[in-house]
Structure 1
Amino acid sequence: MSVRSGRTVRDLRRENRTAVLQRLYFDGPMSRFSLGPATGLSSGSVSNVVAELVADGLVEEAGSVDSAGGRPRTLLRIRRASAYMIGVDVGETRVRVELFDMALTELARVERPLDPEGPRRVDRYEVGVVVGHVRDGVEEVVRQAGVDPERLLGVGVGVPGIVVRDPGGQAVVHGQTIGWDAVPFERLLRAAVPLPASVPYVIDNGAKTLGQAEMWFGAGRGVRNAVVVLFGSGVGASVVSDDLRPGRAVEWGHLTVRVRGRRCRCGARGCLEAYAGAEALLERWREAGGQPPAGADEETALTSMLAAAYPADPGTAPDATALAVLEETAEYLGAGFADLVNLFQPERILVGGWAGLQLGTRFLETVKGYANEYALTFPASRVHIGLGTLGPDAVTVGAAILPLADFFARGGRLAPPDVEEAAPAWQETLRERAAHG
């Protein structure tokens, strides 16, 4: 059966289930009475949907609250053990795999280092090595948590690159800075990871997964739109909104901030990433005469650079070289933020990633000052620039909620229905009329 909008009754049931699930997930526990106004559904529809969700094991009772002059109202919540998600972050120095329940409680975690000592940076991202790390990590977290793989909503993966779909709908990654050219990553994972065929993979840009996490659970909650910036070895960003649909990854790190400037790891000259990513920052410090700790990884070296430029002891003079590089970087970042303000006019710009959180605590106010100088006055006056609140591991959380978002969109069904609903009678009648016309 169809309605005039073209949506079938099945579509409406799915949308009703989605509305109730989302409200319980983000605002629960809630009573049936409260779900009506929150979802816009009638009391009868709410009761029917709740009964289905309880029968499916997705929703459970969570105590009761007093009502005004009536019987206590039963509270409902999502059952945290009803399903599980895996989040994977293919990061700059390691592959992190985490398994979560529906309440986003971390049940297991595995990290596999990527070799930083290869002759070329792209060597650490050899596709077979990354696929092997994901495979081993997924197997290990499932074993550690002791969950049934059939109860996985999916595996979400954040990657450093542009993600497109092949004709079969599977994810292909173009990661120019890591040497990936049209890598059929989803197909490779499906072939390597021993999970049931029904478990979906949702692969997307790492900055986009960070943006999803901050908008759902972090500093982006309550705003209509935001730009979430990911700082690590490189720089990325995503443009996101509050309507629960995925955001859009933008290659912000490869905007040109200086014509004929430094060579970026993408091969072009003058990219923001050639000045502002952690890898470029440390290289510029070294070129200027600074001395990053020998043999240290990027996170440790950046910590040392910040400590040298901003010593904790008031009696210690700052390292002039490190300070000069960081102050120049603040201006480049301010100009880059101004581009985001002018292009997207967001309510907020949120800074995340391990390098972003380290840098932000030291000189974010300076960056804001430069952003106001370079941006148009009106949109600059309406944007708030601040730090993300989910910590340096938020990419993994964002990756895990990619399959959760798909699960909600399906109305809380583990897989799309295999059966097709019959077409309305008028469609068949007109089809026959056209055939005999």
Structure 2
Amino acid sequence: MTRSNGRTVRDLRRENRTAVLRRLYFDGPMSRFALGPATGLSSGSISNVVAELVAEGLVEEAGSVDSAGGRPRILLRVAPDSGRMIGVDVGETRVRVELFDLTLTELARAERPLSPSEEGGARYDVGVVVDHIREGIAEVLRAAEVPAERLLGVGIGVPGIVEHTDADGAVVHGQTIGWDAVPLERLLREAVDLPPEVPYRIDNGAKTLGQAEMWFGAGRGARSAVVVLFGSGVGACVTTDPLGPGRALEWGHLKVRVRGRRCRCGALGCLEAYAGAEALLERWREAGGLPPEGADEETALAALVAAAHPGEGAAADPAAVAVLAETAEYLGAGFADLINLFQPERILVGGWAGLLLGTRFLAEVEAHARAYALAYPAARVSIGMGTLGPDAVTVGAAILPLADFFARGGRHEDPPPVEPPPAWTDTVRHRTAH
């Protein structure tokens, strides 16, 4: 049955289930009585939806609370064991795979290091990445003794632009790592031993970071936010709906200097060519700094910070101080562009390099951002650190299939219904045939 607004009874039932699941997930445990005003549904609708969800094992009782003069009210919550998700972070130094229950409690994890290919530069072999994901998925399922059939999906955060196609699913355009239209979803379907009904959700890593911070971290309660991913490179995600998906921004390739330094993407003057961790370390070397020989990027950046801010009585390395000061100004200018373009309520910084540089560095960035931005939006934005730590991209990746699951009302993915074409198609076909 279709209503006048085009929504079917099935659509309304799914929307009601989604409303209850989301409210219990984010604000539960709650009683049936409290769910009514919280969702805007009638008591009858609440009773029907809750009965369905309890019968399916998606919702369970979680104690009771006293009511005013009546019987205690039973509290309800989303059942943690009713589903499992895998989150994958394809970073530029390693692949991390984590298995979660429905409340985002980690059940198992696996990590595999990544190294540049022998041709030089940050060009990572697609086959190696696919193998790492395949092995990591098998490892976490085996460690937690979870059958693959219980998965709601696999979410994957990747560097670069993700295109969603009918033929190959998610295709990754990762220019800075040498990926040119890589059909990652198809390659994973061919390589990973998972049931065909388990969906893959592949998206930009900054977007998955933004989703995690908005759902569980420093973005909670904000109407709009920009979440910045600061690692080997630089990216961002802008969100205007706290529960909806954000939009990935290739912010690191904003031009901050005409005919400036060459970026990993091949262009000149990108923000990433000055502010990404890889570029930061390169500029320190050029200025006479001495990163630890053979150290990985994370260790080398920690050495740069320590050289600029040594312990009491030690002399700071002037090259490290100068490089960090210049980087803070470039980032501040980049933040000012985000403020002027999107006028967000909050800007949050995450990623391993952002967390390593910390609040002291962020204070310098903020001072420059407010100086470069328009006064009105700058006065209304707060700038701070993300709160979910270095695992936030993986958590956000796992949220991708979870968000889809909630949007379907807690039902597993079904093939779209086959509907008859509109009546006019036969008429047009008949006329064009003559």
Give the TM-score normalised by the residue count of structure 2. 0.96
Aligned to 1:85: 85
Aligned to 1:399: 397
Please tell me whether the aligned partners of residues 226 and 240 of structure 1 are also in contact (alpha carbons under 8 angstroms): yes
CA distance in 1, matches of 2:84, 2:337: 39
Task: Give the secondary-structure state (helix, strand or coil) at the position aligned to 1:70.
Answer: coil
Decide whether aligned partners of structure 1 residues 233 and 216 sit closer, same or farther in structure 2, where only a CA change above 3 A counts.
Answer: same
Instruction: Report Cα offsets for 1:133-158 as digits up to 9, x if no partner.
Output: 00010011111111121110100000
How far the C-alpha of 1:121 sits from its partner, in A, is 2.4
Please tell me whether the aligned partners of residues 222 and 242 of structure 1 are also in contact (alpha carbons under 8 angstroms): no
CA distance in 2, matches of 1:15, 1:237: 30
Please tell me whether the aligned partners of residues 215 and 242 of structure 1 are also in contact (alpha carbons under 8 angstroms): no
Task: Give the secondary-structure state (helix, strand or coil) at the position aligned to 1:122.
Answer: coil
How far the C-alpha of 1:167 sits from its partner, in A, is 3.0
Aligned to 2:319: 321
Please tell me whether the aligned partners of residues 88 and 400 of structure 1 are also in contact (alpha carbons under 8 angstroms): yes
Residue 115 of structure 1 pairs with residue 125 of structure 2: no
Decide whether aligned partners of structure 1 residues 50 and 169 sit closer, same or farther in structure 2, where only a CA change above 3 A counts.
Answer: farther
How far the C-alpha of 1:190 sits from its partner, in A, is 0.6
AA aligned opposite 1:270: G
Taking only aligned residues, the RMSD between alpha carbons, in angstroms, comes to: 2.0
AA aligned opposite 1:32: R
Instruction: Report Cα offsets for 1:196-252 as digits up to 9, x if no partner.
Output: 000000000000000000000000000111000000000000001334221100000
Aligned to 1:21: 21
Choose the corresponding residue for 2:359, options 336, 340, 361.
361
Aligned to 1:277: 276
Choose the corresponding residue for 2:373, options 372, 375, 379.
375
CA distance in 2, matches of 1:169, 1:238: 25
Please tell me whether the aligned partners of residues 168 and 185 of structure 2 are also in contact (alpha carbons under 8 angstroms): no
Instruction: Report Cα offsets for 1:59-104 as digits up to 9, x if no partner.
Output: 0001100001111000001110100000000001100000000011
CA distance in 1, matches of 2:356, 2:365: 14
CA distance in 2, matches of 1:317, 1:221: 41
How far the C-alpha of 1:418 sits from its partner, in A, is 5.8
Aligned to 2:54: 54
Please tell me whether the aligned partners of residues 349 and 355 of structure 2 are also in contact (alpha carbons under 8 angstroms): yes
How far the C-alpha of 1:120 sits from its partner, in A, is 1.1
CA distance in 1, matches of 2:24, 2:337: 38
Instruction: Report Cα offsets for 1:269-310 as digits up to 9, x if no partner.
Output: 110000000000000000100000000000000001101101
Instruction: Report Cα offsets for 1:113-135 as digits up to 9, x if no partner.
Output: 01247441234x11111001000
**Structure 2 unaligned runs (5+)?**
none
CA distance in 2, matches of 1:101, 1:236: 28
How far the C-alpha of 1:169 sits from its partner, in A, is 6.6
Map 1:17-416 → 2, pairs under 5 A:
17-116=17-116, 118-123=118-123, 125-168=124-167, 170-311=169-310, 313-416=311-414
Please tell me whether the aligned partners of residues 62 and 77 of structure 2 are also in contact (alpha carbons under 8 angstroms): yes
CA distance in 2, matches of 1:327, 1:118: 34
Task: Give the secondary-structure state (helix, strand or coil) at the position aligned to 1:212.
Answer: helix
CA distance in 1, matches of 2:340, 2:331: 14
How far the C-alpha of 1:165 sits from its partner, in A, is 1.5
Task: Give the secondary-structure state (helix, strand or coil) at the position aligned to 2:292.
Answer: coil
How far the C-alpha of 1:361 sits from its partner, in A, is 2.5
Moved over 6 A (4+): 430-436
Decide whether aligned partners of structure 1 residues 413 and 315 sit closer, same or farther in structure 2, where only a CA change above 3 A counts.
Answer: same
Please tell me whether the aligned partners of residues 59 and 77 of structure 1 are also in contact (alpha carbons under 8 angstroms): yes
Between 242-251 and 177-186, the greater mean CA deviation after superposition: 242-251
Decide whether aligned partners of structure 1 residues 98 and 389 sit closer, same or farther in structure 2, where only a CA change above 3 A counts.
Answer: same
AA aligned opposite 2:33: F
CA distance in 1, matches of 2:237, 2:414: 28
Task: Give the secondary-structure state (helix, strand or coil) at the position aligned to 2:122.
Answer: helix
Please tell me whether the aligned partners of residues 238 and 246 of structure 2 are also in contact (alpha carbons under 8 angstroms): yes
Please tell me whether the aligned partners of residues 214 and 242 of structure 2 are also in contact (alpha carbons under 8 angstroms): no
CA distance in 1, matches of 2:199, 2:109: 20
Please tell me whether the aligned partners of residues 231 and 277 of structure 2 are also in contact (alpha carbons under 8 angstroms): yes
Task: Give the secondary-structure state (helix, strand or coil) at the position aligned to 1:81.
Answer: helix
Decide whether aligned partners of structure 1 residues 252 and 433 sit closer, same or farther in structure 2, where only a CA change above 3 A counts.
Answer: closer
Give the TM-score normalised by the residue count of structure 1. 0.95
Identical columns (%): 75
Aligned to 2:12: 12
Instruction: Report Cα offsets for 1:304-355 as digits up to 9, x if no partner.
Output: 11011011x2211111110000000000000000000000000000000000
Task: Give the secondary-structure state (helix, strand or coil) at the position aligned to 1:74.
Answer: strand
CA distance in 1, matches of 2:427, 2:202: 45
CA distance in 1, matches of 2:341, 2:426: 52
Decide whether aligned partners of structure 1 residues 321 and 11 sit closer, same or farther in structure 2, where only a CA change above 3 A counts.
Answer: same
**Structure 1 unaligned runs (5+)?**
none
Decide whether aligned partners of structure 1 residues 322 and 56 sit closer, same or farther in structure 2, where only a CA change above 3 A counts.
Answer: same
CA distance in 2, matches of 1:377, 1:83: 47
How far the C-alpha of 1:421 sits from its partner, in A, is 7.8
